[in-house]
Amino acid sequence: MTILTSHADVGGEAFARNREAYLALVERLRTRRRLAWAGGPPKARERHLARGKLLPRDRVEALLDPGSPFLEIGMLAGEGLYEGVPPGAGIITGIGLVSGRPCMIIANDATVKGGTYYGMTCKKHVRAQQIAWRHRLPCITLVDSGGAFLPDMANIFPDVGQFGSIFNNQVRMSAEGIPQIAVVMGPCTAGGAYIPALCDQVVIVKGQGYMYLGGPELTFAATGEQVDNETLGGALMHCSVSGVTDYLAEDDKHALAITRELVRDLGEPPAARWTKAPAKAPRYDPSEIYGLVSHDPKIPSDTREILARLVDDSRFQEFKPLYGDTLLTGFAHIQGHRIGILANQGVLFPESANKAAHFIDLCCQRDIPLLFLADVTGFMVGKAAEQAGIAKAGAKMITAMASANVPKYTILIGASYGAGYLAMCGRPFEPTAMFAWPNARSAIMGPEQAATVMALVRRQNLEKEGRSWSPEEEESFKAPVRKIYEDFQPADNFSAHLWVDGIIDPLETREVMGLLLELASHTPSLPTPFGVFRF
């Protein structure tokens, strides 16, 4: 493979300005992560501890193997969407090692509004299940929830991807032999009681875990029967009378110890489908990426320089280097895993789109995962591009990308607009995982382009009516349009709505991709039947 050579002026003024601006973005990300990590307010955490419970993140840590990595999914989901709810939407989801086996951990945070489910909580739980399903990871759900947040019913109850989808996913994963384990560590009421009831194995904590379709109050209202929590849905009752739960634990630590034993006895994990090479650090310092990403969003990054700081040994075997050069395509290793990379280096032209389709086909034939590093304003427009068949070439690229059944990963490393966002395996094409760097931004088009297009339409309508439009009036019209797009496009907004699986520091990219590729290596390979290509 060719060793990438860096020509970046890492001692220059521009590099220093860029680095300073990016470090501010990283520090802001860390601050928001600390808010998510803390969970609910101090009083709620104190009440939780006073009941003899471990805090939610302490539960996760006690469940995981010592020193295990934990790839958190949607850590900032719901950020700013609900009053009094910190980033994370009241639930912790992520991948870590339990008894040496990668598992998806889903843990309610009862310090946040009693662990109740908002619309985003449901979406995050379902997204964690989807990732677990694709990687065939055992799901361990630490249940401590007051159920649905009733005022948000429209986003919780009626549709696919909401609370009911959690049940559907549990059943279908279990049917495919993907283990489902629940640990009832607090209340589990109404429809929420089905989350553990639908699992393969259930652990429940004595004097702390409760499961019932209707609590004591609802039971009295419906039947006139007076009954206490323990008799109605306590741990001892469910383990000895109803049989709804399987293992009785004395406290949180005991429950988690039992769970680790259950995972230990799941049997042999699938064998790896790829041979992993020894991992090698890049020849250039990855922290230099901070200075390579321009503080001016209108200036794109040199993706070749970024690749030199991401891939193993800075080795990149470029495919078609002299053709369609606004898209870099080639083979590399990340943390020892072979991967095919598509990285934007400008606007997508017919040549670059055709090259992408060819390269994706190669990777599918060779069972090589794909990584899309998106920094693109879109496809080229204009008479020359249209006559050269830009729509046809773009359709080929999208057909190849959508059809590919190898693991696909997308990282937004800069701008990602319009059809360019979609062609680079945007969220609608269901990448295996999708992350954004703190500087990333995405929308149908850029703020200025959107304002200009809408202003042109407005001007045409006014001219039809015989009315004029002064420059001041035009600017007054364009300003709020710009604001809408400026507010929409940041990575913060995408992570809050879970349109990406998280925001990662560029320095975390190699570790995140290494973990994901290791998980993918233990999944079965699938053939890729391509859709019809337009020639």
535 residues of the chain, pLDDT tens digit each: 699 999 999 999 999 999 999 999 999 999 999 999 999 999 999 999 999 999 999 999 999 999 999 999 999 999 999 999 999 999 999 999 999 999 999 999 999 999 999 999 999 999 999 999 999 999 999 999 988 998 999 999 999 999 999 999 999 999 999 999 999 999 888 778 899 999 999 999 999 999 988 777 777 777 888 888 888 889 999 999 999 999 999 999 999 999 999 999 998 888 999 999 999 999 999 999 999 999 998 888 999 999 999 999 999 999 999 999 999 999 999 999 999 999 999 999 999 999 999 999 999 999 999 999 999 999 988 999 899 889 999 999 999 999 999 999 999 999 999 999 999 999 999 999 999 999 999 999 999 999 999 999 998 998 888 888 888 989 999 999 999 999 999 999 999 999 999 999 999 999 999 999 999 999 999 999 999 998 8
Tokens of 282: 């890049």
CA distance 45 to 61: 17
Residue in 195, 70, 133, 138 with CA at minimum distance from that of residue 502: 70
Q: What is the pLDDT of residue 1?
A: 62
Helix (H) or strand (E) run with residue 185 in it:
strand 180-189
Class in CATH terms, 25-264 = alpha beta
Give the pLDDT of residue 177.
96
- Round to whole Å and give the CA distance between 405 and 109: 35
What whole-number distance in Å separates Cα of residue 158 and Cα of residue 152?
Answer: 11
Taking the alpha carbons at both ends of the chain, their separation in whole angstroms is: 32
Rounded distance between C-alpha atoms, residue 261 and residue 28, angstroms:
39
What pLDDT is attached to residue 81?
Answer: 96
The structural domains of the chain, with segments of one domain joined by +, span 25-264, 286-444+489-520, 447-488
Tell me if domain 25-264 and domain 286-444+489-520 are identical in fold: yes
Residue identified by tokens 């759900």 is 141
The residue ranges of DSSP E strands in 17-167, in sequence order, are: 70-72, 91-98, 101-108, 139-145
CB 214 within 8 A of CB 21: no
Distance CA 124, CA 256 (A): 23
Beta strands in 388-533 (DSSP E): 408-417, 433-436, 441-443
Q: What is the pTM of this model?
A: 0.95
For the chain, the residue count is: 535
CATH class of 286-444+489-520: alpha beta
| Neighbouring C-beta atoms of residue 344, cutoff 10 Å | 26
Q: What are phi and psi of 104, to 5 degrees?
A: -90, 125
pLDDT of residue 358: 98
Q: Which amino acid is present at 292?
A: L
